Copies of this chain bind each other. A is one copy, B any other.
Amino acid sequence: MDVFDAIIGRRSCRKFLPGAVSDADIEKILEAGNWAPSPANQQPWEFVVITDPGIKARIFTESEACRKKLFERSGWKWLEKFSIDFVKEAAVIVAVVGDPRKSGADMFLDEGAGRGYLEGCSAAVQNMMLAAHALGLGSLWFSLFEAAAVRQVLGLDAGKDPVALLCIGRPGTVPASKRKDFREKTTYLR
């Protein structure tokens, strides 16, 4: 698939159909993530590939508790009824786990120090979503969970940061999405 078609055609998928994702496809997606740029090429990511239904169920339970808490704290109506069934329905969840010690020289900045690892991991997630789309799969970048809970469920070290739970599977109906015209958000200094 052409890279521009992948970038523009990719949608966030919140409805997955039954059906497994092949190991070969998962490996292509992981390899795509692994080629992301990062500060001083420190590659601050690792991947946990989750298909175990028991682990997925625990992630769902923790994420539901988080969703309710976020609704109570924010008062945002959409969070009250927001279904996160995609966590259970996705054939695979790939946890993209960051290492905050691999941020590069930005650790010494006055402002925004030490976020380079997060930027690198985010670039990796984006590569993975594009790869999934090119393979005919749907994906969702899920992040409404408490890191402490996910660390416990996945057995991660305290120093690691579960940046994203990337839900992947056979896509159900994916609603259209819009963007503001980029020209309205662009300034030229010529």
Q: Residues of A with Cβ closer than 8 Å to B?
A: 1-8, 10, 12, 27-28, 30-37, 39, 41, 43, 45-52, 55, 66, 69-70, 73-74, 76, 79, 105-112, 115-116, 118-120, 122-123, 125-127, 129-131, 134, 141, 143-144, 146-148, 154, 161, 163-164, 177-180, 182, 185-190
Contact = CB atoms under 8 A, between A and B. Distances in A.
B70 A7 contact: no
A101 to B, nearest CB: 13
A2 B4 contact: no
Instruction: Give the 10 A-B residue pairs with the shortest CB-CB distance, closest first.
Output: A122-B122, A34-B182, A123-B126, A73-B108, A3-B6, A46-B185, A126-B126, A119-B122, A3-B3, A47-B186
User: Number of copies of this chain in the oligomer?
Assistant: 2
A5 B179 CA distance: 26
Contacts of A178: 41
Given A4-B32, A49-B187, A105-B79, A39 B125 contact: no
Nearest to A177: B41
